[in-house]
Amino acid sequence: MSETASTETGFFSEEMTISVGPQHPSTHGVLRFVVKTDGEVISEAIPDVGYLHRSIEKIGEKVTYHGYVPYTDRADYLAAMFANQAFCMAAEKLAGTEVSRRGEFCRVIACELNRLASHLISVGTFGQDIGAMTPFVHALRERESINNLMEEICGARLTYNYIRIGGVGYDILPETLTKIAEFLDHFGPIVEEFNRLLSGNKIFIERLAGIAVVSKEDALSYNLVGPNLRGSGIKWDIRRDIPYSVYPELDFEVPVGTAQVGSLGDSYDRFWVRIREMQESEKILRQCLKMLPKGPAIAKVPKKFKPPVGECYARVEAPRGDMGFYVVSDGSEYPYRVRIRTGSFTAMSIIDKLSKGIMLADLIALIGSLDVDAPEIDR
């Protein structure tokens, strides 16, 4: 502790150093923040990461290309499908492998369902962090329906191992496609119900409006991506700006922050972008169901997959933004190097800057608005 005296009153104030985490329920995983605070006002909040480090990148050098796909699920357990896709895209790019057209549509359907599930957890837990318990239960209910669909698609509910080099592991059955369409009819009105319950809630708005504002300049300087970047009014989405898969054939908008209730780039703008993105994912899914072609769900790929010597980088628009895999091949069955770039890791760097001068309770709102995910940070 350090003491500072007030010359006018003679009172002393003490700056305390406290630990938020690593088991705090509002830190979205195993995170810790070393916080310096004078009463309720924060002067510094330093992230202390590494509690969930599992050497996923190093493991990539010890298993085959096919064998590494299940490990990518663990890069972000709330959005495993995107890590599957990014790594498989990198492997395909190295080997010049063509993905079957039906496989591409199956990938988009699975990924956009996963985006809905991830965003539901994000906005639901965000409300819970602020003190609203009921919206979280509503979000979990809808996510459970998506988990049931994912289980029908690939047999798993969290770590999918569904996207494979050349396509997907299993075709989506006609009856599953029907269930997805029925879910989308149900989901649209549910989002509006969620908005009435939480998004338009007076207390929720007052807790977030004008809190932890990220300017466009800071968003770019700190290399923010995904909803955290778009919340500051910057329209950048990998699906549209560096297009991949069949996204160029699909019609969708890229939501950005508009100072909906406070300042551009505040905590509410980041939350609202995720709500809007769920509505856009619904549009994408409806188009994919109509456009889904016939044919095989996966191309013919050798069991002993040996890309030629080279290196490549493949990126996708994950729920937490730009996720990329850098893969180096030495011509063997095993990648020579694997490195993963995630949105949560870059988001952590701006927390200290945003936390200066805010209240301790607002730190929880700040962390929730950035939607940081511990496995994406530590890897």
Domain boundaries, the chain: 12-378
Overall CATH class of domain 12-378: mainly alpha
* Among 236, 250, 215, residue whose Cα is nearest residue 317: 236
- Model confidence at 234, pLDDT cuts 50, 70, 90, reads very high
Instruction: Tell me what the pLDDT averaged over the chain comes to.
Output: 88
- Model confidence at 31, pLDDT cuts 50, 70, 90, reads confident
| pLDDT for the residue numbered 86 | 94
| pLDDT for the residue numbered 144 | 94
pLDDT surpasses 70 at 2: no
- Model confidence at 241, pLDDT cuts 50, 70, 90, reads very high
- Model confidence at 26, pLDDT cuts 50, 70, 90, reads low
% of the chain residues with pLDDT over 90: 52
| Residue 67 φ/ψ, nearest 5 degrees | -70, -15
pLDDT tens, 200-222?
Answer: 889 989 988 988 889 999 999 99
| pLDDT for the residue numbered 324 | 92
| pLDDT for the residue numbered 131 | 83
**Within a 13 Å sphere around the CA of 87, how many CA atoms are in the beta-carbon half?**
31
pLDDT surpasses 50 at 15: yes
The model's pTM: 0.91
pLDDT surpasses 90 at 365: no
CB 198: neighbour CB atoms within 10 A? 24
Higher pLDDT, 94 or 39: 94
Mean pLDDT across 254-271: 89
**Per mean pLDDT, which range of 25-29, 34-38, 80-84 is the poorest?**
25-29
Q: Using CA atoms, how far apart are residues 133 and 193, in angstroms rounded to an integer?
A: 15
| pLDDT for the residue numbered 11 | 61
| pLDDT for the residue numbered 5 | 46
Q: Using CA atoms, how far apart are residues 187 and 197, in angstroms rounded to an integer?
A: 15
| pLDDT for the residue numbered 242 | 93
Q: Which long-range contacts (CB under 8 A, 24 or more apart) does 48-52 make?
A: 48/21, 48/22, 49/348, 49/377, 49/378, 50/378, 51/22, 51/374, 51/378, 52/374, 52/375, 52/377, 52/378
Higher pLDDT, 125 or 285: 285
